[in-house]
Amino acid sequence: MKVRSILYRVYERYLLHQVKTGPKPHHIGLIVDGNRRFAKTHGLPTLHHGHLAGSEKLESFLRWCFELDIKIVTLYGFSIENHRRSDDEVENLMFLIMQKFKEFQVDPMIKEQSVRIRVLGRRENLSDAMNAEIDKVELMTQDHDQFHLNIAISYGGRAEIIDAVKKIACEIERGQLHVEDVDEDLFARYLYTEGMPDPDLIIRTSGEERLSGFLLWQSAYSELYFTEVFWPAFRRIDFWRAMRVWQQRERRFGK
């Protein structure tokens, strides 16, 4: 075990050197998956402990991004489809998400790192209590300008595109836009991620290899990285591996 520990530390330092000296993604998308399976494999009550462990992992991940000066993280926290889960699980998830927003309001890291927090999704599907906490944390961080944390809640990529189409259609109907004005740049201004660059890298944990509706428009040229590791067990070295793979890929954007 001691030899393995020494080899691990040597490999960790080697990876960090590679990652720190290479290019960095400006924007990372994160699909956190595997909380329930993590709980099951550890003999923990699935509904609470798995999701709690996943919630606690977020702070570590943000610190890893700060360390590498990665400016934007967009987290897939809760999809529109997740509303179809059992009432107990949805209630538990919403409780943990609300608690996380309350923690952000007093977390010195958010202020020290000047992290702006925004929520992406159909907020009309959320409770008044949840929306009140979202309003508080968004208002509190609206002037922060070093890092951006976007949390997709009650989010769906198709829903986002439909919402953008409806907004554009309304402005055309009112005469504020003309059909010939609509192009990719204009359309992007009506998405939830208005003003943000598209993600350079999207990471999904737990072995699933699909986007599940995450940032469908914005991910057209994102590099995708899938790992078997469950989200609560995701380590800094796993993150560095994802970064190294991204650095080794050639991004040609169709050229």
Q: What is the CATH number of the domain that holds 142?
A: 3.40.1180.10
pLDDT recorded at residue 96? 92
pLDDT recorded at residue 164? 98
What is the residue-wise DSSP string for 44-58? Answer: --IIIIIHHHHHHHH
pLDDT recorded at residue 45? 72
Neighbours of 48 (CB within 10 A): 16
Q: How far is the CA of 142 from the CAs of 66, 136, 138, 189, in angstroms?
A: 19, 10, 6, 19
Listed as ranges, residues in the chain with pLDDT below 70 are 1-3, 46-47, 255
pLDDT recorded at residue 97? 94
pLDDT recorded at residue 3? 67
Cα separation, 108 vs 95, whole angstroms: 22
Catalytic residue among 35, 82, 92, 150: 82
Cα separation, 61 vs 128, whole angstroms: 29
pLDDT in tens, 106-152: 999 999 999 999 999 999 999 999 999 999 999 999 999 999 999 99
pLDDT recorded at residue 9? 78
pLDDT recorded at residue 109? 95
Are 25 and 240 in contact by the 8 Å Cβ rule? The answer is no
What is the residue-wise DSSP string for 144-170? Answer: --SEEEEEEEEE-HHHHHHHHHHHHHH
The helix or strand, by DSSP H or E, that contains position 76, with its residue range, turns out to be strand 72-79
Asked about 131 being catalytic, the answer comes back as no
pLDDT in tens, 178-190: 999 999 999 999 9
Provide the whole-model pTM.
0.92
pLDDT recorded at residue 70? 97
- Where do we find the tokens 């999701």? 51
Within-domain flag for 56: yes
- Cβ burial of 195 (10 Å; 0-12, 13-18, 19+) is exposed
Tokens of 195: 């003003």
> Cα–chain-centroid distance for residue 53?
16
Within-domain flag for 165: no
Domain count across the chain: 1
Within-domain flag for 139: yes
pLDDT recorded at residue 14? 82
Within-domain flag for 105: yes
pLDDT recorded at residue 113? 97
Within-domain flag for 179: no
pLDDT recorded at residue 181? 96
Domain that holds residue 63: 24-156+198-248
pLDDT recorded at residue 13? 82
Q: How far is the CA of 139 from the CAs of 53, 74, 113, 115, 117, in angstroms?
A: 27, 18, 16, 12, 9
Asked about 150 being catalytic, the answer comes back as no
Within-domain flag for 83: yes
Are 27 and 199 in contact by the 8 Å Cβ rule? The answer is yes
Within-domain flag for 64: yes
Q: 147: which strand partners?
A: 115
Rg (CA), the chain: 19
Within-domain flag for 5: no
Catalytic residue among 33, 35, 150, 200: 33
